[in-house]
Every structure is written in C-alpha cells, then in structure tokens.
C-alpha cells in the first residue's frame, strides 16, 4: 500500500510539472506541431521565429497618405515617346532642362513574360532625377501584377497608365484609347495598381475616341475618386491622331474639373510662346512630345523665354552626344553601332522639320505647318533640312562610319502630321 501511495504521489508531481511545462512553452509547441503537419515540399519554408504575433513576411499595405509624394507642379515633362524616347535621347533632353522623363510605352504582357527587350525600356539613367515608366494593358489582373513587379524590381518615381495610344493593334485589344470607353475595367485597373504601388500612379488620356465626342471631362471627375495622382491630357481624339490642332480650350475646362489633382496639357508646343499660352489655360504643367524631337533645346527656350538659333554645327554636336550615349547604352560592337544608327535615323526623321530661327520670315515656327524646301546658310544646314532618307544616312555616316552593304532604312512613324 505504501509503495502504491508513493507511485501515485510521483505521478501527480510529474503531471503537475508537465502541465507547467506546457503552459510555459505553448507557443513553441504550436509552431512545432504546425511545422510537423506541413507536407515535405522544398518550396515551403519553416516558420519564422518572431517576437510578436506578426511575422516579418506579413505585408502591411501603405495608406494613401504614406505613399511617396512627387511634386509635379510647374514642371516640363518629356513625353514617353515610342521608339524615339530611348535612354540616350532622354539624356540629351535632361541636359537641355527637361524636369520629368518617362520611359517608352511597355506592354504589360511582355513584361509579365519576362521579355528582356521590354524590361530594358524601364532602365533609368542616373541623370534622370524624376523618372517614371509607362505601361499599356487592358486587364486588371495582369496590370496589377505588372505594377507589383515594377514596384519590386524597377527604380521609378511614378508609374503611368497609357490610355491614349491610338494604334489599331493596341486599341482593338481594348488597351490604349480603348480603356476610355471601358470605364469599369479602367477603374479596376487604377484601383488594383494603386493598391500594390508605393509610388504615385498617373494616367495619360486623349479627349476621346471620336473627333466630335469628347469624354475626357467625364472620366477626370471619376479618376479623382479612383486615386490617380496626376492626369495628362492630349488635346486630340483618337480619330484625329496628329492632323488637327490640339484643343487647348477643352484642356482648360478639364484642368478646372481635375483640381486639386494636377493636370498636364499636351499638344503642339514648339516654342516658348506656345508654352506660355498653354500655362495660361490653368494646367499644372506641360508635356512636350514632337516638339522635343524636332528641337530638344525647347526646354531651355521655355525656361529662359527666348528663341535659340542653333547652328548646324551645334546640332551636329548634339547628334554626336546622342551617338556617344547610344554606344554607351547599346554597346560599341557592330550590333550596338547599327542599333544606335537606326535610332539616330528615327530621330533625324523628325529633326529635319526644324527651321533655323535666322531663316524664318515670321517667328515662331508652328508644329503642324509643313516646312518649305530651302537652302541653308551652309551645306550642313541644307543637308540637315533634307527630308530624303539618303541624306539622313549621310549624316549618320559622319558620326558612326559607313553603313553596311545593302543597308536600308524606313522610318516607323509615317503618320502625316501636317495640314
């Protein structure tokens, strides 16, 4: 009987110790039990030891007030230019005073598929102090995932949604201008991207799809509630492309509706007078596209409120800087040289439209007026004014050497932009 009593007392004491052990180490045991229950899969990581109830892997979403801020007010914005708005060209424009730069339009699907050429469009140069990337897509899930990847792997100050692209290939899939008529999808895209980004989300739109049916003013009121940080409005519809003058009266109306969200105006700016008139409409800033391709020193002209008669030798120096930047960016091997040459020729197809201030009968030059054939003040100036592809190739040979045998060039941008 005495032996049984001792055993009973011993078991009770052990039971008490065990319950105290469980009480003290309950969290450890829960983690061990959870880990033991996990399937043996190499992708599943063991639980993270933490001090509190939240693990380091838990993501706390930023509130709107905690997102990174960008001051867009009174800035000169170099438009995201397909083909021509490459990194070397942006470097040239930065030297002439562009405040905001943006990469070329990147296709959402290509980014998600990991296309190297598409991810290269997101590359930023150290001189670009305020830099964004522009994305095109038509589905909320893919655009949101794309925004998440950009947020994690790209060095940007803002992300822009392209809902102004007029190209048939993009529009017929529901992207670009197509988003303006698919407001439900558009709202889901903006809200989804805004949720995963820690930088501002901006949108670029046109006045509408049809020439006589402007819908931008309706969208802008809604986009303010969707969380957009800035809107850029191109003063033409998709149907108009570039053949008609931009409607700055309509841009002015939209700027008032957008307040307090900044609205940038875009269209037909080729001189500082054009920029002054644009700012009088009440916009927060101006975006410059073709004007920068025709004369990249337009940013200096606007900031200094003057006309700059850039000589042909000075323009050749600008082109030489571009080729040096191109060889640095794309490489100085045969492939890099020819890639630089092709982008140089694309740029020359716009730059040839420039008429030197000293030759103008009336100042300033207007962007949609076809420049007449003229003889320059020297041979190089006449050569740079030529709209013949062979003359552009001759200029490229001055900077990059002879072209390969059977070389042929056809500009991508063949749209008629004159009256």
Confidence of residue 68 (pLDDT cuts 50, 70, 90): confident
Confidence of residue 48 (pLDDT cuts 50, 70, 90): low
Task: Note whether 34 and 47 are within 8 A (CB).
Answer: yes
Handedness of CA 32, 34, 37, 39 (dihedral sign): negative
Tokens of 117: 């050429």
pLDDT value, residue 167: 87
Q: Indicate if the pLDDT at residue 268 is higher than 70.
A: yes
Instruction: Read off the pLDDT of residues 25-34 as tens digits, 9 standing for 90 and up.
Output: 554 444 344 3
Q: Whole-angstrom Cα distance, residue 183 to residue 219?
A: 8
Of 84, 146, 165, 254, the catalytic one is 165
Q: Indicate if the pLDDT at residue 250 is higher than 50.
A: yes
Architecture of the CATH domain 75-304: Alpha-Beta Barrel (3.20)
Confidence of residue 416 (pLDDT cuts 50, 70, 90): very low
Which 3 state secondary structure label does DSSP give 134?
Answer: strand
Q: Whole-angstrom Cα distance, residue 48 to residue 356?
A: 67
Q: Whole-angstrom Cα distance, residue 256 to residue 350?
A: 33
pLDDT value, residue 31: 38
pLDDT value, residue 69: 87
Instruction: Read off the pLDDT of residues 355-397 as tens digits, 9 standing for 90 and up.
Output: 999 999 889 999 988 778 889 999 999 999 999 999 999 999 9
CA distances from 238 to 33, 59, 79, 81 (A): 62, 41, 17, 17
Is 146 annotated as catalytic? Answer: no
Tell me the average pLDDT across 328-354.
95
Confidence of residue 96 (pLDDT cuts 50, 70, 90): very high
Alpha carbon of residue 292 to chain centroid:
16
Instruction: Read off the pLDDT of residues 181-205 as tens digits, 9 standing for 90 and up.
Output: 999 999 999 999 999 999 999 999 9
- What residues does CATH 3.20.20.70 cover in the chain? 75-304
Question: H-helix or E-strand containing 319?
Answer: helix 312-330
What is the pTM assigned to this prediction?
0.83
Q: Whole-angstrom Cα distance, residue 194 to residue 203?
A: 12
Task: Note whether 396 and 344 are within 8 A (CB).
Answer: yes
Confidence of residue 419 (pLDDT cuts 50, 70, 90): very low
Tell me the average pLDDT across 204-217.
90
Q: Which of 28, 56, 50 is nearest to 36 (CA)?
A: 28
């Amino acid at each position: 009987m005495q032996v049984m009593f001792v055993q009973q007392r011993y078991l009770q004491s052990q039971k008490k110790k065990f319950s105290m052990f469980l009480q003290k180490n309950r969290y450890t045991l829960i983690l061990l039990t959870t880990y033991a229950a996990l399937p043996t899969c190499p992708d599943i990581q063991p639980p993270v030891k933490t001090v509190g109830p939240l693990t380091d892997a838990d993501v706390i979403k930023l509130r709107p007030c905690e997102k990174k801020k960008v001051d867009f007010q009174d800035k000169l914005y170099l438009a995201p230019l397909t083909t021509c708005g490459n990194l070397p060209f942006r470097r040239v424009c930065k030297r002439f005073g562009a405040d905001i730069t943006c990469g070329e339009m990147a296709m959402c699907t290509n980014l998600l598929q990991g296309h190297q050429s598409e991810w290269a469009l997101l590359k930023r140069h150290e001189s670009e102090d305020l830099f964004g990337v522009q994305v095109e897509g038509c589905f909320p899930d893919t655009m949101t995932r794309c925004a998440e990847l950009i947020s994690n792997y790209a060095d940007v100050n803002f992300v822009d949604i392209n809902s102004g692209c007029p190209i048939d290939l993009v529009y017929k899939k529901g992207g670009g201008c197509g988003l303006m008529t698919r407001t439900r999808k558009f709202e889901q895209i903006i809200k989804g991207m805004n949720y995963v980004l820690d930088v501002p989300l901006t949108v670029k739109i046109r006045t509408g799809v049809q020439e006589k049916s402007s819908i931008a003013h309706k969208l802008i009121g809604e986009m303010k509630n969707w969380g957009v940080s800035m809107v850029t409005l191109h003063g033409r519809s998709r149907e108009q492309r570039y053949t008609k003058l931009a409607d700055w009266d309509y841009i002015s109306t939209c700027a008032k509706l957008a307040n307090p969200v900044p609205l940038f105006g875009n269209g037909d700016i080729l001189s500082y007078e054009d920029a002054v008139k644009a700012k009088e409409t009440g916009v927060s800033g101006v975006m410059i596209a073709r004007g920068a391709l025709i004369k990249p020193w337009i940013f200096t002209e606007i900031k200094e409120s003057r006309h700059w008669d850039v000589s042909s030798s000075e323009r050749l120096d600008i082109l030489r800087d571009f080729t040096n930047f191109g060889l640095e960016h794309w490489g100085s091997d045969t492939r890099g040289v020819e890639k630089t040459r092709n982008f140089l020729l694309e740029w020359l197809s716009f730059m040839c439209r420039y008429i030197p201030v000293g030759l103008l009968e009336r100042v300033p030059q207007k962007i949609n007026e076809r420049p007449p054939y003229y003889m320059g003040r020297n041979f190089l100036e006449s050569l740079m004014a030529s709209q013949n592809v062979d003359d552009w190739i001759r200029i490229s040979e001055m900077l990059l050497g002879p072209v390969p045998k059977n070389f042929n060039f056809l500009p991508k941008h063949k749209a008629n932009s004159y009256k």
